[in-house]
Structure 1
């Protein structure tokens, strides 16, 4: 009997069909040896208790959803912000497929990267042959202007020497001698995607700028960090354009991960031009918009380029004020009236929404720089942090964040949790509930479980579309952050006042 295309069911409804329900039930009984529904419910309730929280926080050998990625993911992201660059992962094919998929699911865009496809023989004899052949094939097929090499666990465990391997590959004629092939060792079993970004950024800049010290170009370099909001690079460029500042953005992924559909495929859209990156060594100064994704890179710039490398976070009113005033002092350029007007709009928007946000308790998890930026902004609007969880933060991050909390009357009740995962976060939300929490898409399961409103900010965002296109920095970005947070709270009020004549007495459209 021929298939009827009119009866094709979307996957959301497909698995609700009787045959699938029966399939899942048989799987649960026959293969999983599942407990009864009553026992599952009893244990689930117990996991919401303080008793379970103490056991949960005492565990040492298990991590449940750590809220971080591994180093090669960040290394690839850094590399893709440079013109004509192909990331090359020295490791297994499955690893690079995961990294590509992770970025593609977030952006809904293709993500080009290759691997040396190391298998069991490479684990025994080393990956040199894979590197030589892989670079040759990659160059011949994809015609990159630069190949940026990083490693996975396998290559690191067996001790592959990337510098020596790349030299051998060039001597063997795999790629031209003058082709830039920067590299970074990025073992997945230490650090996180933020560490990998930093390692690769330092590797790329040290490779491109070697021997390029010359006449000062008067430009200011900007390093966005592991910032997955493409709107931020565009907003940064708009602000710099309004101020008349000559600049170079080191790793501009905005066009790569938000390329237009013109009907023609372009493998390497946008990116920082390699000659501009090479000339960054002659810049006036370098400004990093994130601290903990650029620590090694800033240290390298300060020592090797003899160039000032400072951190400025243009988030919220105070952060953007400090950013613009620092740029004005650095370049001698005046802050234009247009930006002052935008500041006034953000202040007005905060005033409009303050009554709905003041005193609201929140929790947040994510990368160190994102937590500092978003928490600082929420403190400005009167929200009160309770739980702050950062799996990949360190002591320096905790000290900086604690100083921000201590400086605000709304930050006194916050506890900073380092090295904890989202299963720990679940215990915190059940035992000490908040009014809303901030996090990436993996927080959806916490929202379903705890029924606490969730604001999606961070990376990855798999289950919502186009949020990455917005700016979160600057005054315009502040309005976006404010909109997301306050409307999440208003949505929750709607959900709790949706019975006509019973629960909608004090919240309606004619008030």
Structure 2
């Protein structure tokens, strides 16, 4: 390394550079979020026979698919109408109509979930009108359902797109609510949750609690399908029949607050009972989920779940000394951050830096309230709207013991010489983490295992022979 490079690198680690870094306003460097259409595509995958359809360029569609494929290591089915420069000038109607015709002929979907990219939004394409014209021209059958979502890439984030697409799917597929046809089902919305194990854990807990339920959407078998030697284009997903009956639900339970506001508002406008709780991470979060389900069913909490809770508390007791007093930095989506910070506070961990690029005023208020409610949260600061380059400055000028976030945090963690525990989306440099739940009481044990064992690995790696112990 030459002298100039060395001096520059050292300056990047100073308080002077941190102050300049935080003074920037018009430049974003490595935001901890993705764009709306990616979230819309992910949502659409969770419906039976659903084909995600990108009204935009082929490059955008390739990015969404590759990002999800790298996280899951699974193929992700989606199509695009491949808008080009001509479409940007003359509009994308001809691309959309031809794309719908080809998609239906080649892939025979039960529903097409159409959403937009930034090109279509900038030129103002009216996808609802274009869809009507496509059906008038018999490009697709009149009775083929096509859900619509406007998802401009230049505002919001992936969780906004997820929410908008979910509302569009319910609006497209669900029949009107009728007082004499209310079903007995609890419709559970997991939110933007890319852990297939979380979705399976929700279903297991609901089954143990003898709850008639529908998970909406459900990507667990779509993005974690078994390898049986044959390829199935549409494995799993929330059944269309249960989508049709969604507005007749006895109740909706949303397990994320900040990735579902548009959907909740739509449900409320249709007089559907709806409750939103924090993502059930940690003991308190899981307790709230179990209480909400028990209130819906009117039944006692089964002993099996009580025993699970006891085992998770035992695991917390066994590992408490390894987390108590440790300082953490975190970044990610609002719902995940609320859950993981709550868990750390339960363990006596001390969050210091919390970066949320796609923060909202409601999230900021909720996080600050959570931190203020616990003595271990008093030293924490939430950096709303900041990015991972801001986070790097924080880590090198105000060190912590561990960083928690997705794979994009590995460079900042390396520069700060601290371990990174991977939680969130995307995780592209480790395998199978999406197959381990971080929600529920089993999720408590998994989080403890990941965090504590990482600390112990670090301790072993840096210990001299004198302190290289068999027992930690």
Equivalent residue in structure 2 for 1:139, among 90, 99, 104: 104
User: Measured at CA, do residues 37 and 400 of structure 1 come closer, stay the same or move farther in structure 2, by a change above 3 Å?
Assistant: same
CA contact (8 A) 1:212 1:278 kept: no
Aligned partners of 2:471 and 2:259: how far apart in 1? 49
CA contact (8 A) 1:302 1:309 kept: no
Q: Is residue 2:424 matched to residue 1:458?
A: yes
Partner of 1:485: 451
1:121 offset after TM fit, Å? 1.0
Equivalent residue in structure 2 for 1:126, among 91, 95, 107: 91
Equivalent residue in structure 1 for 2:263, among 294, 297, 303: 297
CA deviation digits over 1:49-82, x for unaligned, max 9?
0000000001122211101100000000000000
Q: Is residue 2:307 matched to residue 1:344?
A: no
CA contact (8 A) 2:277 2:288 kept: no
Aligned partners of 1:49 and 1:250: how far apart in 2? 47
1:318 offset after TM fit, Å? 1.1
Q: Is residue 2:156 matched to residue 1:195?
A: no
Aligned partners of 1:367 and 1:383: how far apart in 2? 20
Please state whether the residue corresponding to 2:400 is helix, strand or coil.
Answer: coil
User: Measured at CA, do residues 134 and 314 of structure 1 come closer, stay the same or move farther in structure 2, by a change above 3 Å?
Assistant: same
Please state whether the residue corresponding to 1:410 is helix, strand or coil.
Answer: helix
Please state whether the residue corresponding to 2:352 is helix, strand or coil.
Answer: strand
Partner of 1:237: 203
Please state whether the residue corresponding to 2:16 is helix, strand or coil.
Answer: helix
Partner of 1:280: 246
Aligned partners of 2:287 and 2:118: how far apart in 1? 43
CA contact (8 A) 2:329 2:354 kept: yes
Partner of 2:19: 54
Indicate the larger mover: 74-83 or 443-452.
Answer: 443-452
Aligned partners of 1:203 and 1:63: how far apart in 2? 30
Partner of 1:382: 348
Please state whether the residue corresponding to 2:273 is helix, strand or coil.
Answer: coil
Aligned partners of 1:485 and 1:275: how far apart in 2? 42
Partner of 1:31: none
1:170 offset after TM fit, Å? 1.1
CA contact (8 A) 1:287 1:312 kept: no
Equivalent residue in structure 1 for 2:285, among 306, 311, 319: 319
Partner of 1:500: none
CA contact (8 A) 1:128 1:165 kept: yes
User: Measured at CA, do residues 212 and 142 of structure 1 come closer, stay the same or move farther in structure 2, by a change above 3 Å?
Assistant: farther
CA deviation digits over 1:330-389, x for unaligned, max 9?
220221001000001000000000011100000000000010011111110010000000
Gaps of 5+ in 1: 1-35, 498-502
Aligned partners of 1:310 and 1:463: how far apart in 2? 32
Partner of 2:31: 66
Q: Is residue 2:469 matched to residue 1:508?
A: yes
Please state whether the residue corresponding to 1:338 is helix, strand or coil.
Answer: helix
Instruction: Provide the TM-score with structure 1 as the length reference.
Output: 0.91
1:212 offset after TM fit, Å? 5.5
Matches within 5 A, 1:35-434: 37-211=2-176, 213=178, 215-434=181-400
Indicate the larger mover: 252-261 or 165-174.
Answer: 165-174
Please state whether the residue corresponding to 1:297 is helix, strand or coil.
Answer: helix
1:280 offset after TM fit, Å? 1.5
Aligned partners of 1:290 and 1:308: how far apart in 2? 12
Partner of 1:20: none
1:48 offset after TM fit, Å? 0.3
CA contact (8 A) 1:79 1:87 kept: yes
CA contact (8 A) 1:289 1:311 kept: yes
CA contact (8 A) 1:455 1:488 kept: yes
1:308 offset after TM fit, Å? 2.6
Indicate the larger mover: 257-266 or 211-220.
Answer: 211-220
CA contact (8 A) 2:278 2:338 kept: no
CA contact (8 A) 1:245 1:333 kept: no
1:507 offset after TM fit, Å? 4.2
| Paired positions, count | 471
Aligned partners of 2:163 and 2:102: how far apart in 1? 28
1:312 offset after TM fit, Å? 4.4
CA deviation digits over 1:201-220, x for unaligned, max 9?
01101111143545111100
Aligned partners of 2:106 and 2:53: how far apart in 1? 13
Aligned partners of 1:312 and 1:284: how far apart in 2? 21
Indicate the structure (1 or 2) with the bigger Cα radius of gyration: 1
CA deviation digits over 1:421-462, x for unaligned, max 9?
100000000110001010100111112211111100010000
CA contact (8 A) 2:249 2:272 kept: no
Runs of 4+ that moved beyond 6 A: none
Please state whether the residue corresponding to 1:182 is helix, strand or coil.
Answer: strand
Partner of 1:32: none
CA contact (8 A) 2:50 2:113 kept: yes
User: Measured at CA, do residues 469 and 489 of structure 1 come closer, stay the same or move farther in structure 2, by a change above 3 Å?
Assistant: same
Please state whether the residue corresponding to 2:74 is helix, strand or coil.
Answer: coil
1:275 offset after TM fit, Å? 1.1
Aligned partners of 2:99 and 2:394: how far apart in 1? 47
Aligned partners of 2:135 and 2:373: how far apart in 1? 55
Partner of 1:24: none
